Amino acid sequence: MTAYVFITGGVVSSLGKGITSACLGAILEARGLRISMIKLDPYINVDPGTMSPFQHGEVFVTHDGTETDLDLGHYERFVRTAKGGRHSNFTTGRIYETVIRKERRGGYLGATVQVIPHITDEIKRCVEMGAGDADICLVEIGGTVGDIESLPFLEAIRQMGIELGHDRVVYVHLTLVPYISTAKEIKTKPTQHSVKELRSIGIQPDILVCRSEQPLPMEQRKKIALFTNVQQKAVISAYDADDLYKIPGMMHEQGLDEIVARQLGLDLQAADLSEWEAIVEAKQNPTSEVDIAMVGKYMELKDSYMSLVEALQHGGIHTRTRVNIHFIESQSIERNGTECLSGMDGIVVPGGFGDRGIEGKIETVRFARENGVPYLGICLGMQLAVIEAARNLAGLTGAMSTEFRRDTPHPVVALITEWQTGTGKVEQRDEGSHLGGTMRLGAQSVSLAKGSLAASTYGATTIEERHRHRYEVNNNYRAQLEKAGLRFSGTSVDDLVEMVEIPGHPWFLASQFHPEFTSNPRDGHPLFNGFITAARHHHKGVLPKVREA
């Protein structure tokens, strides 16, 4: 039967519950267990798909096309057996939506529907469904203890502790232990109050993970244990690490996984963390370094591109390269030109929605193409590469996506329903329909042309990658664009453009899909490995060779 580890947070948000959960999952997996992971989010949105990246960071897309919280990206990067999907992320909005629909159908047989037991029962049902057949399911509860929004989730996991028993449930609570520099003191009181708040609703934590700037001294660990009714050995010091991938080793050294295993009565094999040790060693001993410009529109919040940033670092790990990412607001290029891109070894234009900064991104693509700088376009970054080629290689003045300009004379990117008539012209449609069911989501098969840079980079002619977009390259312009010098090197099963490249350029490759969602530090990803390798060659002034797949 599946055992459960519930991870809660207190004092303040953004302490790293997702990283803590992912790292614990990685260690338990290294001890031979099958792991599943779930994120419970207290906001009323049904999913994060319509939320602004400024408010919530990136939207992570799972294999089955579910738009989820960004913490699921942490889970998949750290735990191979924790493949997320529809049953891995539940929000308050989704829980209530399900209960209300059931009530409307008469599913409660006329009963008064209440938070307890109906909402909490639905939460427990979702958790058990998401756990699947895993040995251990790690469940992270979003928000902070004391928030009114989180109470139904906390009540549900309290009930599960009673129903399943202490040998099948572990409660882990993450808190902040601040250091007051003026007083030169480490303060444990916030942790004490957070645990008190948790205990007031019936949950006694078994393990405390204490976030701090420096390792927590034994004196403070003893004090925290005494005032929170937690064993001293179960007070784990989660101090700031200079490398994210050191954290599994840091937690293992303090026995976090062993405490969990003993409470659940599990006799496990020793943890093999050699892969994580190799990752840390590779990051600490690079043989070269590159400067990569990432030109986007959400640069004030780096979490908006979390998976992409990590994927670039994974490319650095697998090529032993220190990757220095320079975040550049695309609107600044519109104002000041492309001078800031000079000296860069590679340029990335990521995905995004909305027209802000679009012309700056198009100028970025042109700079990379004309100056032979390795270019990687992701989703919108590919569409803009097509638009730039249409304007400046094919001479299609005013070429644009209908997402940004409805009256463009050359809709080289548009909704399928706009160009599938074969006329190449934009058909009239309901202005609100772009928010309907037109999003292409999740993993789909992609065919790569033999002899292309795409096929060479992947070492294959058939791949599978995850998507999140609405607009497609207009097939009616493909012949004209290919004649002008743009190669369509990847297509979907229904002949939609998936990858483009420019023959003769040192390394110019763009994808309609999001390869960053499947990159992880241990396995890397061929597209990011290839891009960083090309950036290294550009740094040294050596052009990469393209081999036939």
Structure confidence at residue 301 (pLDDT)? 66
Helices (H) and strands (E) in the chain, counts: 19, 23
Q: Return d(Cα 468, Cα 159) in angstroms, integer.
A: 37
Identify whether residues 299 and 352 lie together within a single domain: yes
Identify whether residues 517 and 383 lie together within a single domain: yes
What are the distances in angstroms from CA 67 to CA 46, 60, 132, 440? 10, 6, 20, 11
**Given 516, 525, 537, 538, which residue is catalytic?**
516
Structure confidence at residue 388 (pLDDT)? 98
418: annotated active-site residue: no
Characterize the bridge pairing of strands 185-186 and 235-239.
Answer: unpaired
1-5, 180-184, 388-392, 417-421: segment of lowest average pLDDT = 417-421
Residues 186 and 217 sit within 8 Å (Cβ to Cβ) = yes
Last residue of a domain, one of 273, 308, 334: 273
* 3-state SS, residue 466: strand
Q: Average pLDDT for residues 333-360, to the nearest whole number?
A: 92
Identify whether residues 331 and 382 lie together within a single domain: yes
Structure confidence at residue 297 (pLDDT)? 82
Within a domain: 549: no
CATH code at position 400: 3.40.50.880
**Given 29, 118, 379, 410, which residue is catalytic?**
379
Confidence class for position 491, pLDDT limits 50, 70, 90: very high
136-150, 265-279, 438-452, 531-545: segment of lowest average pLDDT = 531-545
Give ∠ CA 364-366-371 in degrees, rounded to 5: 100
Last residue of a domain, one of 239, 273, 307: 273
The residue that leads in pLDDT, 438 or 41, is 41
514: annotated active-site residue: yes
**Given 252, 467, 505, 514, which residue is catalytic?**
514
Within a domain: 102: yes
The tally of domains found in the chain comes to 2
For residue 444, give both structure tokens. 């789909």
53-62, 79-88, 296-305, 524-533, range with greatest mean pLDDT:
524-533
163: annotated active-site residue: no
For the cut 50, the answer to whether the pLDDT of residue 549 exceeds it is no
Confidence class for position 545, pLDDT limits 50, 70, 90: very low
Structure confidence at residue 355 (pLDDT)? 81
Within a domain: 379: yes
Confidence class for position 57, pLDDT limits 50, 70, 90: confident
Structure confidence at residue 542 (pLDDT)? 55
Q: Kind and range of the H or E element at 253?
A: helix 247-253
Q: Return d(Cα 14, Cα 37) in angstroms, integer.
A: 19
Q: Average pLDDT for residues 91-99, to the nearest whole number?
A: 96
Structure confidence at residue 362 (pLDDT)? 96
Within a domain: 241: no
Q: Which domain holds residue 101?
A: 3-172+247-273
Residues 469 and 458 sit within 8 Å (Cβ to Cβ) = no
Structure confidence at residue 432 (pLDDT)? 34
The predicted-structure confidence for 18-48, as pLDDT tens digits, reads as follows 999 999 999 999 999 999 999 999 999 988 8
What are the distances in angstroms from CA 226 to CA 202, 237, 386? 19, 16, 63
Q: Return d(Cα 117, Cα 99) in angstroms, integer.
A: 11
Strand pairing partners for 229?
A: none
Q: Torsion-angle region of residue 226: left (phi > 0), alpha (psi -120 to 50) or beta?
A: alpha
Identify whether residues 9 and 133 lie together within a single domain: yes
Q: Return d(Cα 161, Cα 38) in angstroms, integer.
A: 17
Identify whether residues 446 and 301 lie together within a single domain: yes
Residues 465 and 382 sit within 8 Å (Cβ to Cβ) = no
Identify whether residues 38 and 121 lie together within a single domain: yes
Structure confidence at residue 547 (pLDDT)? 41
Identify whether residues 397 and 519 lie together within a single domain: yes
Structure confidence at residue 328 (pLDDT)? 94
For the cut 50, the answer to whether the pLDDT of residue 514 exceeds it is yes
What are the distances in angstroms from CA 418 to CA 131, 381, 409, 414, 463? 42, 21, 13, 6, 28
Residues 413 and 430 sit within 8 Å (Cβ to Cβ) = no
Identify whether residues 262 and 394 lie together within a single domain: no
The residues, any chain, with a CB within 8 Å of residue 172's CB and separated by 6 or more, are 5, 6, 7, 8, 20, 24, 205, 206, 207, 208, 209
The predicted-structure confidence for 137-191, as pLDDT tens digits, reads as follows 999 999 999 999 999 999 999 999 999 999 999 999 999 999 988 888 899 999 9
Within a domain: 424: no
Identify whether residues 522 and 485 lie together within a single domain: yes
Q: Shortest CA distance to 59 belongs to which of 436, 438, 380, 67?
A: 67
- Each residue of 392-407: b (16+ CB within 10 Å) or e? bbbebeebbbbbbeee
Residues 18 and 68 sit within 8 Å (Cβ to Cβ) = no
Identify whether residues 254 and 355 lie together within a single domain: no
Within a domain: 203: no
Q: Return d(Cα 62, Cα 464) in angstroms, integer.
A: 13
Identify whether residues 259 and 308 lie together within a single domain: no
Q: Return d(Cα 125, Cα 138) in angstroms, integer.
A: 15
Structure confidence at residue 433 (pLDDT)? 33
* 3-state SS, residue 400: strand
Q: Average pLDDT for residues 189-199, to the nearest whole number?
A: 96
Within a domain: 328: yes
Q: Average pLDDT for residues 321-343, to the nearest whole number?
A: 94
With tokens 């070894």, the residue in question is 345
Strand pairing partners for 328?
A: 295
- Average pLDDT of the residues of the chain: 92
Q: Average pLDDT for residues 244-268, to the nearest whole number?
A: 96
The residues, any chain, with a CB within 8 Å of residue 94's CB and separated by 6 or more, are 46, 47
Identify whether residues 376 and 254 lie together within a single domain: no
With tokens 């050359």, the residue in question is 410
Structure confidence at residue 47 (pLDDT)? 87
For the cut 70, the answer to whether the pLDDT of residue 544 exceeds it is no
CATH code at position 94: 3.40.50.300
With tokens 């004649």, the residue in question is 483
Q: Average pLDDT for residues 113-128, to the nearest whole number?
A: 97
The rounded percent of the chain whose pLDDT value lies above 90 is: 84
